[in-house]
Amino acid sequence: MIVCYELSGWDNNSHMTGSCEKIFPELIDIPKCEVCGYRTDYRYHNPNFKLRRKAFDYSSTYDNITIVSNAFKKFCEENQYDNLEFIPLAKAPGFFQFYIKGNIIEYTAHRQENLCSACGLYESVIGPGIDLEKISEPLKDGFYQSDLWFASGNEKSPVEIIAPETFMKLKEKKFKGTGGARSIEK
């Protein structure tokens, strides 16, 4: 039984906040930890963000921020997925920074490295896995996110998850960039 799908956007060749190791120096207001130096808010919006590849409806920056097209936003509104945020990109009209609010699913990590006692985040979180013990049936139509942030440094963000029904609807729309969805079975 497929309980959900993990979505991962195709690479749009862009950075929202900087590299894995270094935040853009001009982003003076970005929430970050004083001790480890990594950002502590994956939803932060850089008003000067430049989207270098605009071929996709759903894509991801190198620092794991999801960018969607207007068509994708419209699809979500038509389906009344109301826990989603779309921030217009001033420098890329018709595209939006996208994140999921609430609907948190418990994950476990294969490995976690270098816990920062100041911000409570690990430097690296490797091998995301949904905690299937807590799930007994396919998720209901909609968007979900993992409780843990995966990957390293400033590139950590939650995993984006959709229900099987949502996956079928997305597939029907033939959106560009959602093809990397991975089914999770129980």
In the chain, where do the E strands start and end?
A: 2-7, 10-11, 58-60, 66-69, 84-88, 95-100, 104-105, 107-115, 122-130, 143-152, 157-162, 182-185
Q: Which stretch binds Zn ion (CB under 5 A): 4-12, 24-32, 108-116, 133-141?
A: 108-116
Q: Does 119 sit near Zn ion (CB under 5 A)?
A: yes
Report the Cα–Cα distance between both ends of the chain, in Å, rounded: 6
Count of CA atoms in the C-beta half-sphere (13 A) of 1 = 9
**In DSSP terms, which residues pair with 12 in a beta bridge?**
none
Nearer to Zn ion, 104 or 116 (CB): 116
Member of 1, 13, 21, 35 binding Zn ion (CB under 5 A): 35
Per CB under 5 A, which of residues 50..69 are in contact with Zn ion?
none
Nearer to Zn ion, 37 or 138 (CB): 37
Site size toward Zn ion, by CB under 5 A: 6
Member of 116, 128, 165, 169 binding Zn ion (CB under 5 A): 116
Smallest CA-to-CA distance from 165 within 145, 147, 181, 146 is with 181
CB of 131 to Zn ion, least distance (A): 25
Q: Which residues lie near Zn ion (CB under 5 A)? A: 33, 35-36, 116, 118-119
